[in-house]
Amino acid sequence: MASSSKVFAPLALFLLLLGSTAAELSTSFYSSSCPRLSSTVKSVVRSAISKEKRLGASILRLFFHDCFVLGCDASVLLDDTPTFQGEKTAKPNNNSLRGFEVIDQIKNAVEKACPGVVSCADILAVASRDSVVILGGPYWDVKLGRRDSRKASFSKANKDIPPPTLSLSKLISKFSAKGLSTKDMVALSGAHTIGQARCTSFRGHIYNDTNIDVSFAKTRRSNCPRTTGSGDNNLAPLDLRTPTHFDNSYYNNLINFQGLLHTDQQLYNISGFISSVVKAYSGSTHTFFSDFVSGMINMGDIRPLTGSEGEIRRSCRKIN
């Protein structure tokens, strides 16, 4: 026994390393199997955003809601059928997630260029990066090699995606449950520098919270009635200053108590570690961009399916 374990220990170590490298994502994953991937994705994203700027925000949010539920596996893209319950009607997603048609257009273009090769999960990761860049944010090389799930989870979509009513401590724990740090959470929240929210998502904050600028609350109340059920879908920009530009003004809003969501404004209360991070980002686009990029890479690493797990879907909306 002793001698055989001496022989097998190095072998076991080798297999362990092999196993862990096989599960790693890599920026060059499609460099020979689909060399035109990045230009193909970028041109579809660019034309979608040129028609409607908000779509860049919608795509970025799709990636977040994908990664937080069963990992970055395109589970969020699966349509409901009479025999399959997907994630699209879960509370955080229903009547809220958008951009699915853009993902379909990208998938069609990518299938033409390299049939059966690129996963929907990777398309979402690349399209999110492109959206950020096109709207003025930082560029990063996206790690690739994710595969698509053959399942979705309605219940985990309800449980794992943080709602806008969450307390700061619960917000921190939702992110840490996904392996993301408090700093990742603060930097990734900066995605709210673009896009829109419905009255139903910020009503509690503008009527009941006291950590809000009075005149800002008044402005937002004018298009978001107090009573649940009236004007629920009325929209307001998450960043009142530059809602279609990916910049650090989200953090300036927080310092001025002009965050739109309860969860946004909880990141700043003048004192404490989190407030000091918010201050740093409000003072330095460079620091925000660099931490946002690390956050996106960390989020993109959440439980990917690799190797022979899952599949490469033919249509992002249904399993093969």
Ligand X SMILES: *[C@@H]1O[C@H](CO)[C@@H](O)[C@H](O)[C@H]1NC(C)=O
- Known binding-site positions: 66, 69, 71, 73, 75, 87, 162, 192-193, 239, 242, 247
How many Å apart are CA 98 and CA 263, to the nearest integer? 21
Q: Which amino acid is located at 257 in the chain?
A: F
Tell which one of 71, 86, 162, 310 touches ligand HEM (CB under 6 A): 162
Q: How many CB atoms lie within 10 A of CB 4?
A: 8
- If one asks whether residue 216 binds ligand X (CB under 6 A), the answer comes out as no
- If one asks whether residue 203 binds ligand X (CB under 6 A), the answer comes out as yes
DSSP letters along 236-293, please? Answer: EESSSS-TTS-SSHHHHHHHTT--SSHHHHTT-SSSHHHHHHHHHHHH-HHHHHHHHH
Maximum CA extent, the chain: 78
Q: Which entry of ligand X, ligand HEM, none binds 89, CB below 5 to 8 A by partner kind?
A: ligand X
**Cβ-based nearer residue to ligand HEM, 189 or 253:** 189
**Cβ-based nearer residue to ligand HEM, 34 or 77:** 77
Burial class (CB in 10 A: 0-12, 13-18, 19+), 87: buried
Q: Which of residues 84-123 bind ligand HEM (CB under 6 A)?
A: 96, 98
Q: Which of residues 79-108 bind ligand X (CB under 6 A)?
A: 89, 94-95
- If one asks whether residue 263 binds ligand HEM (CB under 6 A), the answer comes out as yes
Tell which one of 136, 138, 204, 283 touches ligand X (CB under 6 A): 204
Q: Shortest approach of ligand X to residue 251 CB, angstroms?
A: 14
CA dihedral sign of residues 118, 128, 309, 184: positive
**Cβ-based nearer residue to ligand X, 115 or 272:** 272
DSSP letters along 134-185, please? Answer: HTT----PPPB--BB-S---HHHHHHHSPPTT--HHHHHHHHHTTT--HHHH
How many Å apart are CA 254 and CA 263, to the nearest integer? 11
- If one asks whether residue 272 binds ligand X (CB under 6 A), the answer comes out as yes
Tell which one of 37, 42, 58, 118 touches ligand HEM (CB under 6 A): 58
Catalytic: 286?
no
Tell which one of 195, 300, 304, 310 touches ligand HEM (CB under 6 A): 195
Q: Which entry of ligand X, ligand HEM, none binds 94, CB below 5 to 8 A by partner kind?
A: ligand X
Side-chain half-sphere of 187: how many Cα atoms within 13 Å? 24
- If one asks whether residue 203 binds ligand HEM (CB under 6 A), the answer comes out as no
Q: Shortest approach of ligand X to residue 299 CB, angstroms?
A: 21
Which string of x and - marks every residue 205-234 that binds ligand HEM (by CB under 6 A)?
------------------------------
Q: Which entry of ligand X, ligand HEM, none binds 57, CB below 5 to 8 A by partner kind?
A: ligand HEM
- Cα 21 to Cα 8, 96, 145, distances in angstroms: 20, 37, 12
Q: Nearest Cα to 130, choosing from 105, 289, 74, 138?
A: 138
- Count of positions on this chain that bind ligand X (CB under 6 A): 13
Q: Which amino acid is located at 304 in the chain?
A: P
What b-and-e string marks burial along 219-251, b requiring 16 or more CB atoms within 10 Å of the CB?
Answer: ebeeebeeeeeebeebebbbbbebbbebbbbbb
- If one asks whether residue 61 binds ligand HEM (CB under 6 A), the answer comes out as yes
Residues engaged in binding ligand HEM (CB under 6 A): 54, 57-58, 60-61, 64, 96, 98, 162, 164, 171, 185, 188-189, 191-192, 194-198, 201, 238, 261, 263
Residues that bind ligand X (CB under 6 A): 89, 94-95, 203-204, 207-208, 269, 271-275
Active site positions, annotated:
65
